[in-house]
Amino acid sequence: MTMTKLANATLFDLKTGLSEEETSKKRFLTDMEKLFNDTETLQKELDAGNNPMIYEYYALDLPKTEGDIQYGTSIVYPGTLGGEYYMTKGHFHEILETGEVYFCMSGQGYMLMENPEGEWEIEELVPGRAVQVPPRYAHRSINTGNEPLVTFFTFRADAGHDYGSIETKGYRKLVVERNGKPEIIDNPKWQQ
């Protein structure tokens, strides 16, 4: 009898979140042109030849049934662009009624969430803090610290990712640096 191995496992570095066994997806400033608020500063950076990696994450090739749980790590690097902290693009799930859990392994920042009805929530990410993103909520990790913000995430494997809604409408709220501290402000460019 041939054994069909169904379980799988991946080794990550608990501090950096990186895995030598898999290849991460990397998101650079050029991938975030529609996401950062200050497009003028962004363009200046690109014109000057600066295209830093903003974040990377693992999208593992695992079963995508509604009974499986998908996992991976996300690493958002420290920095700001026009006062706005480095962050992930943020996404809804294609199956809108599914949530996600983020477990912070190192660094510090926020999980910013909003639903299509206009409600929004924010939770702090510090090492050891688990945040449960409710169904229907788009979610974005924001690094407000000086080291990489590393999270371990899990979601229903059939959830799917909708990045387009955020790229088109933007987030209602932004997290920016004011006097060296994070502040939540309304997004002046947000489109109803």
Residues that bind its own copies (CB under 8 A): 3-14, 62-63, 65-69, 71, 95, 97-101, 103, 105, 111, 113, 119, 121, 123-124, 126-135, 137, 152, 154-156
Task: Quote the CA–CA distance of 24 and 176 in Å, as a whole number.
Answer: 27
Kindly list the distances between the CA atom of residue 167 and the CA atoms of 128, 132, 162, in Å, as whole numbers in the listed order.
Answer: 30, 23, 10
Kindly list the distances between the CA atom of residue 44 and the CA atoms of 18, 30, 146, in Å, as whole numbers in the listed order.
Answer: 30, 12, 23
Question: Could you tell me the smallest distance in angstroms from the CB atom of residue 38 to its own copies?
Answer: 27
Tell me whether residue 120 or residue 163 sits nearer to its own copies (CB atom): 120
Tell me whether residue 45 or residue 173 sits nearer to its own copies (CB atom): 173
Question: Could you tell me the smallest distance in angstroms from the CB atom of residue 9 to its own copies?
Answer: 4
Tell me whether residue 65 or residue 179 sits nearer to its own copies (CB atom): 65
Question: Could you tell me the smallest distance in angstroms from the CB atom of residue 164 to its own copies?
Answer: 21
Tokens of 28: 């650079």
Question: Could you tell me the smallest distance in angstroms from the CB atom of residue 130 to its own copies?
Answer: 5
Tell me whether residue 65 or residue 192 sits nearer to its own copies (CB atom): 65
Which of 99, 112, 155, 108 is CA-nearest to residue 128?
108
Question: Could you tell me the smallest distance in angstroms from the CB atom of residue 59 to its own copies?
Answer: 14
Residues 6+ apart with CB under 8 A from 115: 134, 136, 137, 138
Tell me whether residue 50 or residue 132 sits nearer to its own copies (CB atom): 132
Which of 134, 136, 110, 140 is CA-nearest to residue 122?
110
Could you give phi then psi for residue 40, rounded to 5 degrees? -70, -50
